[in-house]
Amino acid sequence: MTYYGIVVISLIKTIDNGFEIILDGKVLIRHTTKTPAFFIGEKRLAIDMRKGEFFIKDTTPYNQANLITVKDTKIVFDTFQIELKQDTYTKLVFLNLNQPIQIHLLAEQDEKIYGLGEHFTSLNLRGHKVKNWVEEHITRKQIYNKIIRRLLHIRPKKWPFEDYKTYFITPSFMSSNNYFCHMETPGYGVFDFTHNDYHSFTCLGSLTEIVLHKEASILDLSGALCRFKGILPKLPDWIYDGMILGIQGGTQFVNTTTKKLVQQGAKINAIWAQDWCGEIYTYFGKQVLWNWQYDPLLYPDLKANIKKWYSEDIKFLGYINPYLNQQEAMFKKAKKNNYLVRNTDGSIFLTQATSFKFGIIDLTQVTAYDWFKDVIKTNMLGLGMMGWMADFGEYLPTDCVLSKGLAEDLHNQWPDLWIKLNREVLEETDMLSKAVFFNRAGYSNNLKYSTLIWNGDQHVDFTDDFGMKSALRAKLSLSLSGVGISHSDVGGYTTVPGIKRKKILFLRWLEMNTFTPVLRSHEGNRPKDNIQPYSTQETIDATVKFSTIHALLKPYLIAVEQDYHTNGYPMVRPVFFHYESTKEDAFLLGKDLYVCPILNNRQKKIKVTFSNHKWIHLLTGKIYQEGCYDIEAPVGQPAVFYRADSQYNSTFKHITTYVKKQLA
């Protein structure tokens, strides 16, 4: 099999008392009587959801699968069969498998494992277990623990990796041995990388195939995985023209504040007002009303204002999710028309995220699905919106009743179905190349439908597991999972007692996100407690400066995006994709821009190692040869470097000239 210049030969080899599955000369699976690799289980799984949080108990026992025969490309066990197929990829196709299964892949002691979706605390998954389950990434226990520790001036607790959850899981991982493995399974399972000599995977839902592929380098492997998972569509051209300003509070405040920023020189390409449909105040803070029609009291004449902003080259973005507030008109309409997920007794299934209850639109019912598409077309695109946050999707309980299918089987796929609906809206209105929506939750097929991924809700602090550091790690882990474009909220989102966004956090996060594909701010759930782009003259000046830099990067950003569309290489990349480095606190934008963000409150210097090339500081113009340096990085001067031999030197020099003029 030839693929992008690589010849990959896969085969099944019979050995004493068993067989080996070989990928490009390397044994990945060895099954014998004494060292089995396949085990069949008896399902014992209990899953409960309370206020959007899942509690899972898995006590499934497994026994060695009984091998019958191996012939050519077929392996026959007593209860299922495997057939080896090759096209673009190597596939192990499972036939007649109706039970949970556990599979062992051979491992090497120094092997590293990456991927499996978005993870906030570690890029290398070796030594960890990962649940194959989409869910809210932070628990109430973790939030309360952090609040109490902060109020008592105690350092936040670092939880075991297995206690952290994720919105975006995908059953695909990459090995430092330059192969990827994908499990085609919809349900719950566990990827276990804690053993020295093998990796263990359990699938309690159906497993239809395992996809394997090998490349010559980790960069090419990431490109192959991106192509396999799905290439996101080209972003609208306007998205590279500066910052998407996250702002709320009604027409007058939004208009006045945006105008003030623009008049001072900020490059604002869009207004993102998530409270367009109304606001509700809960113990958590300010939340969206979840009734998907514009609020004429908060946003009078919204359609006319959107048209006015559009004439000023400022787009307008909104917010939506697949839930309906129980107290509002749209819920009542959906209930009347039987559009909502139900309990086993036929009543509406209601769940609660903060202090209000909501219903879940049944996306398996065709009429409800089409109705909700019309809601977006009429109430959002009809107003002139050019995009929205397509939030949530991870809250489907396993004990509810759907129009079609079982909730447990569809839970992981639910956010993909939700995003598929959003994608169809853009395609059916011929808006795919003009508008954009962004989502946080996803599973295996999400990238076939999404237009842009965002990293979810980080805390408004510098903490490693839930704050700014975790946002960087989230971007990189997605890049290692086949996700080509992602971004985070500038300044984070989650604001709780004892934790509010300070100026230094906003400024440092703004610096970091300027050098990612999409620059977008968020006010957070307590806007008045948080420093905003418009809060002080210093934050206004920083917003002007870095939104302009992002706009000046447009030729390079377009080129890096084209590289993603051509080769599958993600736009934001781990440094080790191109250079010798083990750093997890830095990243590349493309291959020519090296970004070393400041991730601590008081830090003003950073140690940077350059290898193989001459690099130039993007903001100062200072040249660095190969070696290790302590780089000065005061606020406003992040440690960002470009390759001296880059073909985009003129773009980078233009930015350096702009910054020096600002200082003059």
pLDDT attached to residue 5: 39
Whether residue 8 is predicted with pLDDT greater than 60 in this model: the reply is no
Mean residue pLDDT across the chain = 96
Distances (CA, A) of 246 to 141, 292, 524: 29, 19, 9
Q: Residue 141 domain-assigned? A: yes
Secondary structure class of 90 (helix, strand, coil) = strand
Domain assignment present for residue 531? The answer is no
Residue that finishes a domain, picked among 161, 188, 214? 214
pLDDT at 583: 86
Instruction: Tell me the mean pLDDT in the region 64-87.
Output: 96
197: domain range? 2-214
Average of pLDDT values for 657-661? 96
- Residue 487 and residue 517 in contact, taking contact as beta carbons nearer than 8 Å: yes
CATH number of the domain enclosing 620: 2.60.40.1180
Asked whether the beta carbons of 235 and 517 are under 8 A apart, the reply is: yes
Instruction: At 655, give phi and psi (nearest 5°).
Output: -65, -45
User: Is 538 in a helix, a strand, or coil?
Assistant: helix
Residue 343 pLDDT > 80, yes or no? Answer: yes
Structure confidence by residue, pLDDT tens digits, 367-423: 999 999 999 999 999 999 999 999 999 999 999 999 999 999 999 999 999 999 999
Query: Is 628 part of any domain?
Result: yes
Q: How is the beta sheet containing 243-246 ordered, strand by strand?
A: 436-438, 387-390, 315-320, 268-272, 243-246, 519-520
Choose the final residue of a domain: 190, 214, 238.
214
pLDDT at 354 over 90: no
Distance CA 25, CA 107 (A): 15
What's the Cα-to-Cα distance from 97 to each of 2, 103, 207, 378, 411, rounded to whole Å?
30, 13, 7, 45, 21
Please, which residues have CB within 8 angstroms of residue 600's CB and are 6 or more apart in sequence? Answer: 462
Render pLDDT for 24-61 as a digit per residue (tens, 0 to 9). 999 999 999 999 999 999 999 999 998 889 999 999 99
Q: What percent helix, strand, coil does the chain show, rounded to 5? A: 25, 30, 45
Which residues, other chains included, contact 350 with Cβ-Cβ below 8 Å and sequence gap of 6+? 326, 357, 358, 359
- Residue at 210 is within a domain: yes
pLDDT, tens digit, 9 for 90 and up, residues 538-557:
999 999 999 999 999 999 99
Question: Region 217-246: what's the mean pLDDT?
Answer: 98
**Distinct helix (H) and strand (E) counts, the chain:** 13, 42
Give mean pLDDT, residues 161-187: 97
Round to whole Å and give the CA distance between 662 and 664: 6
Q: Answer for the pair 63, 74: CB distance below 8 angstroms, yes or no.
A: no
pLDDT, mean of residues 239-262: 98
Q: Which of 451, 419, 458, 448 is nearest to 517 (CA)?
A: 451
**Dihedral sign computed on CA atoms, order 445, 451, 457, 459:** positive
- Lowest mean pLDDT: which of 6-10, 174-178, 309-313? 6-10
Could you read off the pLDDT of 484-494 as tens digits, one per residue? 999 999 999 99
Is 112 part of any domain?
yes
* Residue given tokens 């009291």 in the structure block: 297
CA neighbor of 415 nearest in space, from 437, 391, 390, 442: 442
Task: Find the angle CA(478)-CA(481)-CA(483) to the nearest 5 degrees.
Answer: 60
For residue 230, the model assigns a pLDDT of: 98
Using the predicted structure, report yes or no on whether residue 425 has a pLDDT greater than 50: yes
Structure tokens, 355: 């202090």
Asked which of 214, 230, 250 is the last residue of a domain, the reply is 214
Q: What is the mean predicted confidence (pLDDT) over 509-525?
A: 98
Domain contains 75: yes
Q: Is residue 7 predicted with pLDDT exceeding 60?
A: no
Would you state the pLDDT for residue 4?
37
pLDDT above 90 covers a percentage of the chain that reads 93
Residue 1 has pLDDT above 60, yes or no: no
Q: Flag whether pLDDT at 2 surpasses 70.
A: no
pLDDT of residue 355: 85
Number of Cβ atoms within 10 Å of the Cβ of 173: 25
Instruction: pLDDT band for 9, please (50, 70, 90 cuts).
Output: low
Positions annotated as catalytic residues are 391, 394, 457
* Position 584 in a domain: yes
Could you tell me if 125 and 173 are in contact, meaning their C-beta atoms sit under 8 angstroms apart? yes
519, 546 Cβ separation under 8 angstroms: yes
Q: How confident is the model at residue 89 (pLDDT cuts 50, 70, 90)?
A: very high
Does residue 292 sit within a domain? no
Number of domain units in the chain: 2
Q: Angle at which helices 251-263 and 537-552 pack, to 10 degrees?
A: 70
pLDDT score, position 512: 98
> Domain of 92: which CATH number?
2.60.40
